[in-house]
Amino acid sequence: MAVETTTRAKLRWGLLDVLVVVFALIPVLWIASLSFKTPATLTDGKFFPREWTLDNYKTIFETDQFVRALINSIGIALIATLVAVVLGAMAAYAISRLDFPGKGLLVGVSLLIAMFPQVSLVSPLFEIERQLGLFDTWPGLILPYITFALPLAIYTLSAFFKQIPWDLEKAAKMDGATQAQAFRRVIAPLAAPGLFTTAILVFIFCWNDFLFAISLTSTERSRTVPAALSFFTGASQFEDPTGAICAAAVVITVPIILFVLFFQRRIVSGLTSGAVKG
Amino acid sequence: MTLPATPTDTAPEKSSASASVPTQRGSRRTAPLSENKKAERKLGWLLCAPAALVMVAVTAYPIIYSVWLSLQRYDLRFPDQREFIGLENYVTVLTNEFWWTAFGVTALITVVTVAVELVLGMGLALIMHRTLVGRGIVRTSALIPYGIVTVVAAFSWRYAWTPGTGYLADLFSDGAPLTERASSLAIIMLAEIWKTTPFMALLLMAGLALVPEDLLKAASTDGATAWQRFTKVMLPVMKPAILVALLFRTLDAFRVFDNIFVLTAGGNETSSVSMLAYNNLIRGLNLGIGSTMSVLIFITVAIIAFVFVKLFGTAAPGSDDGERR
Amino acid sequence: MADIVLDKVSKSFPDGTVAVQDVDLEIADGEFVILVGPSGCGKSTTLNMIAGLEDISSGELRIAGQRVNDKAPRDRDIAMVFQSYALYPNMTVRENMAFPLRLAKLDKETINAKVDEAAKVLELTSLLDRKPANLSGGQRQRVAMGRAIVRQPKAFLMDEPLSNLDAKLRVQMRTVVSRLQKQLGTTTVYVTHDQTEAMTLGDRVVIMRGGAVQQVGPPQELYDHPRNLFVAGFIGSPSMNFLHAAVQDGSLRTALGDVPLGDRVRRELEAADAPRELILGIRPEHFEDAELIDDDTRRRGLEFDAPVEIVESMGSDKYVYFTVEGERASAAELEELAADAGSADFAGAGGNLVTRLSAESPVAEGQSRRVWFNLEKIHLFDPGTGRNLTLHEGRAAGALAD
């Protein structure tokens, strides 16, 4: 009896699981499927390709437009992530371990920014960046990315830092460690997972942005892939860009899938502890 | 991977000294500042300064600047006509039917998607939290919509509904669902819901994890049905998490842009306020009107946030550790 | 191996708060000294100053004859065991224990040999490759000990190392600690708030209160000859009974009857500034069922009748709780002790009298019973200063001493 009910419960849960997985994956599989279709079968309306080809991928990697955008995307997201995590870690350390007036204000301000309507910044930033010569440059995108990634970084990192048993530092000193050794060999290894998780979340945020990317860029010089996608025309003006767009879309989805596959646990813990989306 | 070498390297010395005398802390806090305390303050400010500076420089200053721009006639196509015109832009925008249509569309999308996401997200959270099999797989696949680039997902939906190309296009008999207002809005909302339900579910799952297992067992032995356990035991414990999730998703939904841009480009009266502001600014190059809309959107979001915080008080986000920040 | 000397060591904060005041203490080489007291008494701060984790405000700390006030913890060559064990979660048991040796730059073979040896002593050999997260509380505690002993430091400092263990394990580990310390003969300073640990473990016990040392001595001496009310109430379980006593015509009026006074105490009470009211203290084991004693013994004490409230039979003897009428003894020390113990556990100052009677006593709950108590074992305290008036040249002599 008991065995039977648990099997049935398992079946029921399994069914729900399948539902979730299918729901989550269909759009991704669909765009991947499109990217492998030949131009002839592209408009057959079938979910899975009848003829497979890699031509779409060849095409995009041969066009400067995409390669350039990919480099921009990677470079801008990496730099913004690096800076946001370093600045965020400093602030989060202070918030989680030190007592100083203005702490509540900082947390409040970063919370406000997390909820800030980004489009409200587009007009003034557009004008300010044009005046400063930052328009259509890497820093022109990196700056707003850092700003909107910082609340996420600060929240997630404070939550992680609060869990570190800082007493270990004392223990390390008793064991004969210098201040630097205690940090390097005891505290740093414990803080690393939190920093890494935060970096992933921040990277996903920067990688994802579209509004700033199309508003604050105008050429291939700094246009990132999401923005470039909407300007995509394929190899020549007269070709249907669908296949190329899908291939490019799949390319920028790959890192996300990899992150999710390998670091699912960490991403979940990071998102739920910080409880903030950028 | 970089480690914040400077802060962590120098700081613990001071704080560990004060932390190791817990019995003395209370009395020290009220007393005049000691050397340790001053150093701790200084270090705290020093460490927070860079982050605070960047955040303020990139948000506070531009917002003030955009208020200034909104009081001017400023069209980049006619830079000579730039002049101070007071609140005229606001009159223009607030009496414009496009603005109110966009506002209505945004409000509709916000209300519908957040409501649907709350229900679906709760279901997904329960599945992720309680499923007996394949927890890892479910969580992993749920993270994919969260992580995927919105524009990519939007393209996927667009092609899915494109006549001829898409596997879903035939669901509407007369084809081309993205050229009609009602179906376009429905598709936009579907795309939004698909993308952000997992995030909602993750926040709710954090709340679910706070419900003590013993409490549910006690409720069962007290004779509560599954539904009663959910409404009488789980929901009250989860209330703060639900409010946080609602607040974040509401404000996030209000800035809907990417999906509309790719799916309809705002055609057939499907523009959101963000879309409209973008069009006036980048396509129309009208800085004055664009800034006015920016300010109005900012005010609306501020009001929503204020109402949430007022209504739900200390349960608002940021009050972690039960401490109001 | 080394001796540790605290010479007028104080810890104060710039705002004037004093955590530790003028502590003088000489800990001999190889000695096992316990610092004990209620929370906030300064015992942990004292230990942290010896460790070097906290600065010394004034006074001098010498280890092996050398002044170490300004030395970093790593240069003092002492090991510490923390209450939380402070095991490095990212390292295995072996790596945890090897950590201080690796910092000391010993070669691999020596490190391995030393770790293996320490592991053997503490029965950790089979756990060496586990991470702390996969160990039980007792195992973690032993790893923490292992990490301390492995580098053969000049001294061990232990900060409430057993207080996170359950009661049974705590008793077990107590003997482990004790045996280990005797085996290694390393000077040890051990902080605890548990007076049972203090009594059973140490060669000498230092009782602290409010940052100051109250009394230093071997456990038995503190038990038999407490210098003041605080020490008397702190040491002993169940704790000493305290009764209000009024000085009247050369004797003491108490709830247990009139207690006669010997010449010496009487002389002391005749001084102009002597208190008119005292606190009488008597330990549970100095009571006996009046039926069970011989006449010779009877002459040395007093008898009284009281209703029996509760009888707890321990097999070897009986704890009997009596209700006594009369004014309660009151003093700052007693309130502090009650607060520390959680007033339920500290019956000393209440309306209850705790006695330990022979197992043969036919005492039963609800009855009234005649009980004898030993006048030679009575302590009398000045409620104002807490001083033990029956103490003469460090020995307590009871109420009748001449």
- Nearest residue in C to A175, CA atom: C100
**Residue B43 has what pLDDT?**
87
Q: Tell me the pLDDT band of B25, cut-offs 50, 70 and 90.
A: very low
**Residue B9 has what pLDDT?**
34
HEC string of chain B equals CCCCHHHHHHCHHHHHHHHCCHHHHHHHHHCCCCHHHHHHHHHHHHHHHHHHHHHHHHHHHHHHHHHHHHCEECECCCHHHCEECCCHHHHHHHCCHHHHHHHHHHHHHHHHHHHHHHHHHHHHHHHHHHCCCCHHHHHHHHHHHHHCCHHHHHHHHHHHHCCCCCCCHHHCCCCCHHHCHHHHHHHHHHHHHHHHHHHHHHHHHHHHCCCCHHHHHHHHHCCCCHHHHHHHHHHHHHHHHHHHHHHHHHHHHHCCCHHHHHHCCCCCCCCCHHHHHHHHHHHCCEHHHHHHHHHHHHHHHHHHHHHHHHHHHHHCCCCHHHCCC
User: Phi and psi (nearest 5°) for C231?
Assistant: -60, -45
**Residue B16 has what pLDDT?**
37
**Residue B28 has what pLDDT?**
38
Q: Answer positive or negative: Cα dihedral of B229, B235, B241, B247.
A: positive
Q: How far apart are CA C241 and CA C236, in angstroms?
A: 10
Mind telling me how many Å the CA of A184 is from chain C's nearest CA? 12
Beta strand spans in C51-142 (E): 58-63, 66-67, 78-81
For residue A173, give the nearest of C73, C147, C151 by CB distance. Answer: C73
User: Phi and psi (nearest 5°) for C308?
Assistant: -85, 130
What single-letter DSSP state applies at residue C388? B
* Chain-chain contact of C74 with A170 (C-beta, under 8 angstroms): no
User: Phi and psi (nearest 5°) for B280?
Assistant: -65, -35
Query: Can you name the residues that pair with C259 across neighbouring β-strands?
Result: C252
Give the 3-state secondary structure of residue C36.
strand
**Residue B8 has what pLDDT?**
33
Between B108 and A48, the more confident residue is B108
Among C27, C25, C23, smallest CA distance to C1 is for C27
Q: How far apart are CA C24 and CA C8, in angstroms?
A: 5
Q: Given the DSSP bridges, would you call strands C212-217 and C204-209 parallel, antiparallel or unpaired?
A: antiparallel
User: Phi and psi (nearest 5°) for B288?
Assistant: -65, -55
Among C311, C32, C315, smallest CA distance to C178 is for C32
* Chain-chain contact of B152 with A121 (C-beta, under 8 angstroms): no
List the single range of B41-55, C102-116, C347-361 with lowest mean pLDDT: C347-361
Average pLDDT, integer, range B152-163: 89
**Residue B123 has what pLDDT?**
92
**Residue C1 has what pLDDT?**
66
What single-letter DSSP state applies at residue A52? B
Q: In chain A, which among 2-31 make CB contacts under 8 A with chain B?
A: 6, 9-10, 13-14, 16-17, 20-21, 23-25, 27-28, 30-31
Q: How far apart are CA A33 and CA A38, in angstroms?
A: 10
| Cα–Cα distance list, C272 to A192, B188, C244, C247, C250 (Å) | 71, 96, 21, 13, 14
Host H or E run for residue A154: helix A138-163
Q: How far apart are CA A21 and CA A15, in angstroms?
A: 10
- Nearest residue in B to C13, CA atom: B34
Q: How far apart are CA B278 and CA A216, in angstroms?
A: 11
Q: Which of A98, A134, A154 is the best mutation test for B, with the most CBs of B within 10 A?
A: A98
* Chain-chain contact of B24 with C16 (C-beta, under 8 angstroms): no
Q: What is the pLDDT of residues B294-312, one digit of tens each?
A: 899 989 988 988 888 777 6
Q: DSSP letters of C225-274?
A: S-SBHHHHHHSSSSPPEEEEEEEETTEEEETTEEEE--HHHHHHHHSTT-
- B186 HSE (CA, 13 A, CB side): 9
pLDDT over 70 (residue A184)? yes
What does the mean pLDDT of chain A come to? Answer: 86
Q: What is the pLDDT of residues B35-81, one digit of tens each?
A: 667 778 888 899 999 999 999 888 888 888 889 888 988 888 888 88
Contact list in C for residue B38 (CB cut-off 8 A) is none
**Residue B315 has what pLDDT?**
44
CA angle A163, A166, A167 (to 5 degrees): 125
Rounded to two decimals, what is the model's pTM? 0.79
Q: What is the pLDDT of residues B6-16, one digit of tens each?
A: 333 333 333 33
* Chain-chain contact of C86 with A177 (C-beta, under 8 angstroms): no
A70: alpha, beta or left? (left if phi > 0; alpha if psi -120 to 50) = alpha
* Chain-chain contact of B17 with C44 (C-beta, under 8 angstroms): no
Task: Name the residue type at position B197.
Answer: T
User: In terms of residues, how long is chain B?
Assistant: 325
Look at the block and give the residue holding tokens 């009496």. B95
CB-count burial class (<10 Å; 0-12, 13-18, 19+) for C117: middle
The 3-state DSSP composition of chain C as helix, strand, coil percent (nearest 5) reads 30, 30, 35
**Residue B134 has what pLDDT?**
83
Chain mean position to CA A139: 18
Q: How far apart are CA A125 and CA A146, in angstroms?
A: 14
List the single range of B170-174, B268-272, B297-301 with lowest mean pLDDT: B170-174
The answer to whether the CB of C358 falls within 8 A of the CB of C293 is: no
| Cα–Cα distance list, B67 to A173, B63, B87, B124, B291 (Å) | 55, 6, 10, 42, 7
HEC string of C124-167 equals CHHHCCCCHHHCCHHHHHHHHHHHHHCCCCCEEEEECCCCCCCH
Q: How far apart are CA A155 and CA A150, in angstroms?
A: 8
| CB proximity list for B265: less than 8 A, separation 6 or greater | none
Q: Does A164 touch chain C (CB under 8 A)?
A: no
Q: Tell me the pLDDT band of A90, cut-offs 50, 70 and 90.
A: very high
pLDDT over 50 (residue C275)? yes
Q: What is the pLDDT of residues A31-61, one digit of tens each?
A: 999 899 888 888 777 888 888 888 889 888 9
Query: Can you name the residues that pair with C356 across neighbouring β-strands?
Result: C319
User: In terms of residues, how long is chain A?
Assistant: 278
**Residue A233 has what pLDDT?**
60
Among A228, A225, A222, smallest CA distance to A138 is for A222
What does the mean pLDDT of chain C come to? Answer: 89
pLDDT over 50 (residue A229)? yes
Query: Percent of chain C scored above 90 by pLDDT?
Result: 59
Among A156, A162, A104, smallest CA distance to A275 is for A156
Chain mean position to CA B298: 13
Q: How far apart are CA C95 and CA C106, in angstroms?
A: 14
For residue A259, give the nearest of B127, B147, B194 by CB distance. Answer: B147
Q: Given the DSSP bridges, would you call strands C395-396 and C391-392 parallel, antiparallel or unpaired?
A: antiparallel
Give the 3-state secondary structure of residue C311.
strand
**Residue B15 has what pLDDT?**
37
The answer to whether the CB of C119 falls within 8 A of the CB of C146 is: yes
Query: Percent of chain B scored above 90 by pLDDT?
Result: 26
Could you report the predicted ipTM of this complex, rounded to two decimals? 0.88
Q: Which of A164, A173, A175 is the best mutation test for C, with the most CBs of C within 10 A?
A: A175
pLDDT over 60 (residue C308)? yes
For residue A123, give the nearest of B143, B205, B287 by CB distance. Answer: B287
Between C73 and C340, the more confident residue is C73
**Residue C269 has what pLDDT?**
83
Q: Tell me the pLDDT band of A238, cut-offs 50, 70 and 90.
A: low
Q: Tell me the pLDDT band of A237, cut-offs 50, 70 and 90.
A: low
Average pLDDT, integer, range A232-240: 59
Give the 3-state secondary structure of residue C190.
strand
**Residue A126 has what pLDDT?**
87
**Residue B1 has what pLDDT?**
31
Q: Given the DSSP bridges, would you call strands C379-381 and B72-73 parallel, antiparallel or unpaired?
A: unpaired
User: In the complex, which subunits touch B with 3 or more CB pairs below 8 angstroms?
Assistant: A, C
Mind telling me how many Å the CA of C53 is from chain A's nearest CA? 7
The answer to whether the CB of C22 falls within 8 A of the CB of C9 is: yes
Q: Does B12 touch chain C (CB under 8 A)?
A: no
**Residue A187 has what pLDDT?**
87
Q: How far apart are CA A195 and CA B8, in angstroms?
A: 13
**Residue A143 has what pLDDT?**
93
| CB proximity list for B77: less than 8 A, separation 6 or greater | B285, B286
Average pLDDT, integer, range A124-148: 91
Contact list in B for residue C53 (CB cut-off 8 A) is 16-17, 20
pLDDT over 80 (residue C310)? yes
Among B231, B148, B156, smallest CA distance to B197 is for B148
Among B174, B218, B37, C33, smallest CA distance to A99 is for B37
Chain mean position to CA B209: 22
The answer to whether the CB of A42 falls within 8 A of the CB of B159 is: no
**Residue A68 has what pLDDT?**
92
- CB-CB neighbours of B269 under 10 Å: 15
Q: How far apart are CA B145 and CA A28, in angstroms?
A: 9
Q: Tell me the pLDDT band of C355, cut-offs 50, 70 and 90.
A: very high
- CB-CB neighbours of B155 under 10 Å: 26
pLDDT over 90 (residue C101)? yes
- CB-CB neighbours of A66 under 10 Å: 23
The answer to whether the CB of C357 falls within 8 A of the CB of C288 is: yes
> Which of A108-117, B118-127, B266-275, C266-275 is predicted most confidently?
B118-127
Q: How far apart are CA C197 and CA C43, in angstroms?
A: 15
| CB proximity list for A29: less than 8 A, separation 6 or greater | A47
CA angle B74, B78, B82 (to 5 degrees): 35
